[in-house]
């Protein structure tokens, strides 16, 4: 392999990236924009969910309970109604997302330590808000009941320590406040850094579409030099994003970075090699840019959303889907990004992911080279 020939193809492709506005935006600007949009869209905090209350008890305890569950910014008391028909109308009109019905005898049963019953109605057309309301009403109801029961025990002369034998303490490591963005942003890197794979597929398809591939093949440049020369510039642009996007995650989204950046950079280069080799293989088979784009979305991008463990645990996927996920670079890169960003693990733990990325990259590069010869020889 001639370095002079390889450099000629690399220089040609770099010039194309710099001159073609669409390609430049796709490989250097789109990843940052997509990360911002997806992070804000997928990690929005639910707040101010409107609820209604129907109080059949009408006691001081029930009024105290209403104040307790509506304190804070998560649940807003929209209205106190007088009948179930009003709740039905409010839910139909979309004015509320949940309703709490306090049964008669609520105060008497609670103070007598007989237990109590509540009814919660949620709007099933928007289960996220309804489920959020149920969760918050549930734990606030439990906290309120514990306060009442604790005061009743103290009034009757019982020691609280004797009736609370379990001392449960919960501690979350690496993400103490359990913020969704801290987990989401490192996972999304495997998606947004995959855009150069689209570009390398499109650039090969463009050569076919514009009938310039044959001109390149009659030159002294070998096919492997041509394929690597097409791939390397997009690896370089991807590595530029590997510097920019983590800085955005750390500074803008306040995601902690506890590992080695040099290790992260090296493993990111492996990921780009694997991802771009898949894009290169697609470009070898596709004869038009539209077909290359569609194939890249179906084979590279869409599986990256659903099969790489970013949004759904891989262990919960069907067996065939779990097998398919092993052959996706994003699956292994999501393990790397989350591991390096949050617990700060090293190569002693991440080496299986590094090996899989290397195997995937070499395998698809070999396939592309093999079929590139057969198609164009």
pLDDT band at residue 206 using 50, 70 and 90 as cut-offs: confident
pTM comes to 0.77
Q: How far apart are CA 155 and CA 364, in angstroms?
A: 74
- Looking at residue 271, its pLDDT comes to 94
Residue 353 confidence (pLDDT) above 90? yes
Cα distances (angstroms) measured from residue 159 to each of 41, 110, 113, 146, 370: 49, 19, 16, 14, 78
pLDDT digits (tens, 9 = 90+) for 93-107: 888 888 989 888 888
- Looking at residue 165, its pLDDT comes to 53
pLDDT digits (tens, 9 = 90+) for 240-279: 999 999 999 999 988 999 999 999 999 999 999 999 999 8
In order of their start, the domains of the chain are 3-42+179-376 (no CATH), 49-145 (3.40.1710.10)
H or E segment and range at residue 102: strand 98-102
Average pLDDT, the chain: 83
Phi-psi map region of 328: left, alpha, beta (phi>0 left; psi -120 to 50 alpha): beta
Tokens of 229: 């020369």
Neighbours of 206 (CB within 10 A): 19
């Amino acid at each position: 392999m001639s370095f002079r020939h390889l450099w000629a193809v690399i220089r040609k492709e770099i010039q194309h990236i710099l001159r073609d506005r669409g390609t430049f935006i796709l490989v250097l600007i789109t990843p940052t924009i997509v990360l911002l949009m997806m992070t804000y869209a997928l990690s929005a905090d639910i707040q101010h969910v409107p609820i209604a209350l129907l109080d059949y008890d009408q006691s001081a305890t029930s009024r105290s309970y209403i104040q307790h569950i509506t304190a804070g910014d998560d649940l807003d008391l929209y209205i106190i109604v007088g009948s179930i028909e009003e709740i039905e109308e409010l839910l139909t009109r979309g004015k509320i997302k949940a309703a709490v019905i306090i049964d008669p005898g609520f105060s008497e049963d609670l103070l007598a330590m007989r237990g109590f019953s509540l009814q919660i109605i949620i709007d099933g057309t928007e289960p996220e808000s309804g489920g959020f309301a149920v969760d918050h009403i549930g734990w606030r109801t439990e906290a309120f009941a514990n306060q009442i029961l604790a005061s009743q025990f103290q009034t009757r002369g019982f020691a609280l320590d004797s009736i609370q034998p379990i001392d449960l303490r919960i501690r979350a490591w690496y993400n103490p406040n359990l913020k969704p963005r801290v987990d989401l942003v490192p996972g999304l890197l495997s998606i947004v850094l995959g855009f150069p794979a689209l570009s390398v597929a499109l650039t090969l398809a463009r050569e076919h579409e514009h009938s310039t591939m044959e001109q390149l093949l009659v030159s002294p440049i070998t096919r492997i030099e041509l394929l690597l020369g097409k791939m390397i510039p997009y690896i370089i642009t991807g590595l530029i994003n590997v510097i920019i996007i983590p800085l955005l995650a750390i500074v803008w989204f306040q995601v902690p970075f506890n590992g080695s950046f040099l290790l992260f950079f090296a493993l990111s280069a492996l990921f780009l090699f694997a991802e771009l080799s898949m894009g290169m293989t697609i470009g070898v088979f596709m004869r038009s840019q539209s077909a290359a784009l569609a194939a890249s979305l179906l084979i590279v991008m869409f599986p990256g959303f659903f099969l790489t463990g970013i949004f759904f645990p891989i262990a919960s996927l069907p067996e065939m889907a779990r097998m398919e996920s092993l052959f996706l670079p994003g699956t292994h890169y999501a393990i790397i990004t989350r591991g390096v960003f949050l617990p700060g693990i090293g190569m002693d733990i991440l080496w299986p992911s590094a090996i899989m990325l290397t195997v995937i990259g070499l395998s698809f590069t070999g396939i592309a080279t093999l079929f590139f010869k057969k198609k164009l020889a």
